[in-house]
Amino acid sequence: MNILYGHELLVPAPAKVNVNLLITGKRADGYHSLDSVMQKIDLFDTLRITLSKDPGIHLSCPDSDLPVDRSNIVWRAAEAFLQAVAAADRIGVSIVLEKKIPIAAGLGGGSSDAGAVLTGLNRLIGAGISAAQLIDIARPLGADVPFFVVPHSAVRARGIGDEMVPVPSLVDCALLLVNPGFSVSTAWVYKNFTLTRVVKDSRLFDSQKNDNLSSGRQLLFNDLESVTIRHYPEIAALKSYLLENGASDALMSGSGPTVFALFPAASEEIYRCAEQLKKKYGHGVIVTQVIASSSPA
């Protein structure tokens, strides 16, 4: 291994939205199996990672209330990687996490940060860990983490999010994110989800062609949305407002509470809508775009 001690690596960690999300079952280990199309978007946290010869993990999160110990998924990701390459007793890791993605918002911020740690350490330590091995390390950290260790901008993920095939990114659209300012626990949402579909779930996806994601009105749906909306009806009101003000479609991402809306590319409506919503939600309103597919699906 060619270990780059003292070299600071800046790793961007993108947010994601779930273009669609179906819960297809519950496994014996307590995890839910899913079928979801996930899309990376142009909203990033940044991680500054440095290696030293003094063993230990040191994490700081300036301007954030996030914990800086093992209860933080970033810390656990560093630990998992060092253990995987048998280097925990001879390599120290210092991480500075600069947050831009809202916390507990359904945008995958924590999972993306963990994925960035895994890919960043792979580069700094020169471990040569393959994509399949990175997914193996990522899998126990959380269902979304495997998505953030692969280079694809959009995937259809099944299993617990670790069985992925690339799909085309959304095109010809802009995204408006609206975070209403409260956090939602992913564990709480899954605990309160009642599985009501079995066979027809996969048919919903199989009836789509991949290019349906990039033309016309998108086929957006999210099984978890009804759970979160029952306790936070403001999400339903946000969706209605967005649809009434130029959005072609709107959906809660992940377990929520962030709602994202699709607008035509170069649309003036998205900026008018954003300005109105900023009066209530301030910095929780973000105009962004998708990260384009890095390679054909």
Q: Out of 16, 40, 99, 239, pick the active-site residue.
A: 16
Q: Is 45 a catalytic residue?
A: no
Spot the catalytic one: 35, 45, 113, 144.
144
Question: How far apart (Å, rounded) are the C-alpha atoms in residues 119 and 129?
Answer: 9
144 is catalytic: yes
Query: Which residues does the annotation mark as catalytic?
Result: 16, 144
